[in-house]
Structure 1
Amino acid sequence: MFTLLRQQQKKILKSVLDHYTWLSLQRRRVNTNSAIVEQLRKEFADKKEQHIVNSERDRAKILSVSGTTDQLTGRTYYGVHNKGKSPQAVYGFGVTRPDEVFINNELNLKYIDVYGFDYDYTLANYTDNLSRTIYSILRDLLVELLRYPKEIKDLEFDPTFAIRGLHYDINKGWLMKIDSYANIQLNTVHTGRERVSDPEEVIRYYNGTHISPRYLHTQMFQLNDLFSVPQACLLSDVLQYFKDKNISFIPRYVSDDLNQAARILHTGSNMNSAFGIGGRLHHAVVDDISAYLERAPQLVGFLEKLRKHGKKTFLLTNSSFPFIDKGMRYLTSSPDWRDLFDCVIVSSRKPSFYSSRRPFRRVGEQSWDPVNKFEEGEIYQGGNLRDFTQITGWSGQKVLYIGDHIFSDLIDPTVEQGWRTGAIIRELEAEIETRNTASYRHTLAWLLRIEQLIQKAQSYYGKPDIDGSNLESLVIEWSKERRNARHELRNVFNRSFGSLFRTYQNPTYFANKIRTFADIYMSNVCNLNNVSLDHVFYPDRTYLPHERLVETLIDTGKIKELLQS
């Protein structure tokens, strides 16, 4: 009996001791957790104050803190608006020059014997008037030929709405930006001019944020060139009009109608396309060419430099000869512009030029003879890549072809013939100008700091004596700050869709195509005039996530400092 009593007393004592031990551990856990959270909060506040001080020193703003992007928004995408003004360096680093040539793939110009060029938005740079005219003609065609409501003629082009590279879902009528992995950037999905308010609606429709390759290629189309930007704006404006007026519509009907109007805009009748100037747009440009084309004083010097050094040159374009002739006379201030090229091919019907067997034909001469050689001073139309290669002997990696359209200009010659390629991206100037501003750089620096602090806080998850609930609340709070910073960095490029090149961390679908199929890219073809003809373009080393820490330290020479410390 006495032994049983002692055993019960020991159990009670152990239970009491265990309880006090548990209480002690809980108090210690609370104290430890509280200390860590307070330490992290203090670090966040100190870093934020430091960033604010640094930005004020550079007369800049951290946009997500100040809550304004007015100083950076409102730019169009067709050129630099502050030419002649040099932005100041931030953090001791210089700025990116808009006239640079940017490298995706190593390219030695010494081995380039032949330079080929597209015309529209490559040799010819258009003013903002062209987009307004495209919008107006398309709008009027919808009313005059396709019996759309007359009130649509009151719509006006908004150059700040759409950007190149967007995708349009022909079934849903949604315009959106997609990243390099075919994932949707949810806050860019628009129906008409309004953002889709509920992201879950988009997620439910696509069963997530990823677009399958089949759906992407069969039920969507992409805005690949600058001609398509006003078309996308009009499409969104018409859908918005129908919504506002409660007019029932099927999105695919509207996009089909607009595509039909676009064919008339660019080609007119088949006879005009084959033998005349072209469609309504081409006639508008030719009738007032100084209002649409920008003079290119450096272009002649660049082309003459190539030929002086023994390089062959050719012009390969889908536009008609009368249109090209008028434009090149204006650009070069000379009727003898054809002397700048060894070969001129018009009405080429790219991208089918690269895969078809359509024969070449002389322009301006009624002849049914086959074209077996390209004669000096002659102009040719149509044709195909295989015959072009056989006639000229120009093939493989000794050819560099430069154009603005990924699918029409760059992909097929790279894949089929191994041509080296260069992309002209006119919007690059304005994006670089924005990225060079002190406010953009300080906001980006603050965003990166927030992400570092969030990762640091998350590193305490699951550790002994740490209660994750308070840490989780802190991470949620900081994640909101991160969202604000990301939102403002998007807005400085375009309030609806952000940057042409980036969906937050990832490149856009458009940028990824440039990275894959263009060896080099630049804002203007004459940027190549800034480098020698035996220049070697070396791309920056691309780091995989597991390589970044050590190899960055090695490449920058900081590994020695780190080891010494």
Structure 2
Amino acid sequence: MSKSIYDILKELLVDTFRYPSQIKDLQFDPNFAIRGLHYDFNNGWLMKIDNMANIQLNTVHVGREPIRNKNEVVDLHRGLHIAPDYLRNNMFQLNDLFSIPQACILSDVLQYFRENGISFHPRYLCDDVSHAARILHIGSRLTGMGGRLHASINKDIAKYLDPSPKLVEYLQHLRKGGKKTFLMTNSTLPFIDVGMTYLTSSPDWRDLFDCVIVSAGKPDFYHSRRPFRRTREPTWDAVQRFEPGEVYQGGNLNDFSKLTGWSGQRVLYFGDHVYSDLVDPTVQQGWRTGAIIHELAEEIEIRNTPSYRHTLSWLLRLEQLLKEAQSYDEHKRPDGLRGVIEAWRAERACVRLELKIVFNRHFGSVFRTHNNPTFFANKIRKFADIYTSSITNLNEAPQDYVFYPNRTYLPHERVVESLIDTGKVGHTF
């Protein structure tokens, strides 16, 4: 799908926004970008930042190349921390499922302009790509089939989706357990019908849900007062209740809660977009939320390999050795210790780079900088009660299972509480 999005975006840039025709010759590189990167409007820098808005300096790219003079970044921000005002007014985060092809087209076009001596402003480029992305998704109201991406997917649905009997099994399991289920999407009914029919291997996919809402218009859905409408029959009556097997469009969160009686923490709502799916349901109705993050499966697989665990173990040991070596009284340090410390610091830098490129050689892990969660991962932690690579993973847990959060340590708590966790410190009564 990312390649299809990339190809449509470059066609729109040439055909609609009058970019050079050579842009159509650009080729999508699936290994270049990751989700959650930030684009600097003023400088054209693409980078990864952590949960405290600190820049991971070895991820800053201009076009397809690492920035040559990293001091430019440090000088601009007087360090590596991005001030809140600058982050809010001058940077754009690419955090949804379509962000990888969008990041790639931004970088590839910027690279093309630089190599061909074409004067440009990075903000114009970002605005044009964002506008093209909206066109890609917006379809004709007359056909109801969605944008160019939807049309491309429907032509060859098997290229983009695999049938998911596990999903059908999970939904049926929920309903047999007395749970209510609903589907709420911004996509149109014709598009959803094609996709869900293929995904569930049944034209009766609507029977898996107590309520189906299409063309919801999230995130406006959570704030508007727009009424629901039926989709399959041309009626103009107000919707007073949700009928089994019917599909509704539009609507708003308050009416949805009133019509269903579903509200508060009894509702667990899953989505794949932080801002469109997860923020407002929590704030407006107190729903529990779950994030579907597809990249999680690959990252967990990498982290479970013996080579990764060995490298991480060596990094942690190196850092412990450095702490201990630096603790020596400056006047009592053994001869040669300073050189050993410098060698360990250099080794640490190499190991940290190795742990980065195993995920993505340009930007590293989607979820972690060196020590901290990424800005993207922090949003997931803030607005999602649970996150997983696939909703069907929950079929492995009993329906009454409670997921308790892990305790997080402040720096001054870590030593004692780590000892307690490992059983090295006990309690006396």
Alignment counterpart, residue 267 of structure 1, candidates 121, 131, 138:
138
1:387 Cα shift?
1.1
Does 2:15 correspond to 1:147?
A: no
Q: Pairwise mapping of residues 171-250 of structure 1 onto structure 2 (< 5 A)?
A: 171-250=42-121
Letter in 2 for 1:310: G
- Describe the SS at the equivalent of 2:248: strand
Query: Structure 1 residue 383: deviation in Å?
Result: 1.1
Q: 1:471 Cα shift? A: 4.2
Structure having the higher Rg: 1
Which amino acid in structure 1 is aligned with residue 365 of structure 2? S
Of the candidates 141, 145, 149, which is equivalent to residue 277 of structure 1? 145
Q: C-alpha separation between the residues in 1 aligned to 2:404 and 2:139?
A: 45
SS class of match (1:312)? coil
User: Among the aligned pairs, what percent are the same residue?
Assistant: 65
1:253 counterpart (105, 124, 130):
124
The range that moved more, 216-225 or 476-485, is: 216-225
Q: Of residues 415, 431, 440 in structure 1, which corresponds to 2:283? A: 415
Contact kept, 8 Å, 2:40 with 2:91, in 1: the verdict is yes
Partner of 2:252: 384
Distance 1:483 1:410 in 2: 36
Q: Which residue of 163, 168, 175 maps to 1:300?
A: 168
The one-letter code of the counterpart of 1:325 is D
Report what 1:55 is aligned to.
none
Deviation at 1:300, TM superposition (A): 0.8
Residue matched to 2:37: 166
* Aligned with 1:507 (options 367, 373, 385): 373
SS in 2 for 1:502: coil
Partner of 1:359: 227
Task: Give the drift of 1:470.
Answer: 5.3
Output the CA distance in 1 between the equivalents of 2:19 and 2:285.
45
User: Is structure 2 residue 399 aligned with structure 1 residue 528?
Assistant: no
Q: Distance in 1 between matches of 2:426 and 2:328?
A: 30
Paired position in structure 2 for 1:542: 408
Partner of 1:558: 424
Contact (CA 8 Å) 2:232, 2:246: kept in 1 or not? no
User: 1:470–1:323: structure 2 CA closer, same or farther, 3 Å change rule?
Assistant: same
Structure 2 residue aligned with 1:105: none
Match among 314, 323, 334 for residue 446 of structure 1: 314
Q: Which residue identity lines up with residue 352 of structure 1 in the other structure?
A: D
Question: How far apart are the structure 2 equivalents of 1:365 and 1:498?
Answer: 50
Q: Aligned AA for 1:204? A: D
Give per-residue Cα distances to partners, 1:315-342, cap 9 Å, x unaligned.
0111111000000000111111101111
Q: How does 1:285-364 map to 2 (within 5 A)?
A: 285-364=153-232
Q: Counterparts of 2:21 and 2:329 in 1: how far apart (Å)?
A: 62
SS at match of 1:344: strand
| Mapped contact 2:163–2:198 kept (Cα < 8 A) | yes
Q: Relative CO higher for 1 or 2, CA cutoff 8 Å, sep ≥ 6?
A: 1
Aligned partners of 2:129, 2:78: CA distance in 1, in Å? 29
Counterpart in the other structure of 1:87 = none
How far did 1:165 drift? 0.6
Q: CA-to-partner distance for each residue in 1:325-377, whole Å, 9 max, x for gaps?
A: 00000011111110111110011111111112222111133333222211111
Change (3 A) 1:461 1:348: farther
Q: CA deviation at 1:213?
A: 2.2
Q: Give 1:534 shift.
A: 0.8
- Distance between the aligned counterparts of 2:286 and 2:407, measured in 1? 23
SS of 1:221's equivalent in the other structure is strand
Q: Which amino acid aligns with 1:235?
A: L
Match of 2:360 among 494, 500, 513: 494
Aligned counterpart for 2:241 among listed residues 356, 363, 373: 373
Distance 1:251 1:466 in 2: 52
* RMSD across aligned positions (CA): 1.7
Unaligned runs of 5+ in 1: 1-129
Shift, 1:140, TM fit:
1.0
In 1, Cα distance between the equivalents of 2:413 and 2:332?
Answer: 33
Amino acid at match of 1:336: D
| CA distance 1:465–1:228, shift in 2 (3 Å) | closer
Q: How far did residue 259 of structure 1 move?
A: 1.3
1:85 match: none
Q: How many residues align?
A: 428
In structure 1, what residue type is equivalent to 2:175?
R
**TM-score in terms of structure 1 length:** 0.74
Looking at structure 2, the residues matched to 208 and 465 of structure 1 have their Cα atoms a distance apart, in angstroms, of 33
Residue 52 of structure 2 aligns to which amino acid in structure 1? Answer: Y
In structure 2, the residue matched to 1:480 is 346
Deviation per CA, 1:245-264: give whole Å up to 9, x if none: 11111111111111111111
1:29 alignment counterpart? none
Whichever residue aligns with residue 240 of structure 1, its letter is Q
The superposition leaves residues 169-202 of structure 1 with CA deviations (integer Å, 9 ceiling, x where unpaired) of: 1121111101000111111111100111222100
Native 8 Å contact 2:36 2:99 kept in 1: no
Report how far residue 208 of structure 1 moved: 2.2
Query: Matched residues in 2 for 1:197 and 1:527: separation?
Result: 43
Q: Secondary structure of 1:345's partner?
A: strand
**In structure 1, distance between residues paired with 2:15 and 2:63:** 22
Mark the runs of 5 or more structure 2 residues left unpaired by the alignment. none
Any conservation in 1 of the 2:139–2:145 contact (CA below 8 Å)?
A: no
Per-residue CA distance 1:403-439 (angstroms, 9 max, x = gap): 1111111111112211111111101111111111111
How far apart are the structure 2 equivalents of 1:287 and 1:156?
Answer: 22
> What SS does structure 2 have at the residue aligned with 1:315?
strand
Alignment partner of 1:559: what SS? coil
Aligned to 2:298: 430
Write the deviation string for residues 62-90 of structure 1: whole angstroms up to 9, x where unpaired. xxxxxxxxxxxxxxxxxxxxxxxxxxxxx
Residue 59 of structure 1 aligns with which residue?
A: none
Match of 2:28 in 1: 157
| TM-score, normalisation: structure 2 | 0.96
CA offsets 1:264-287 (integer angstroms, 9 cap, x no match)? 111134x25xx5110000001011
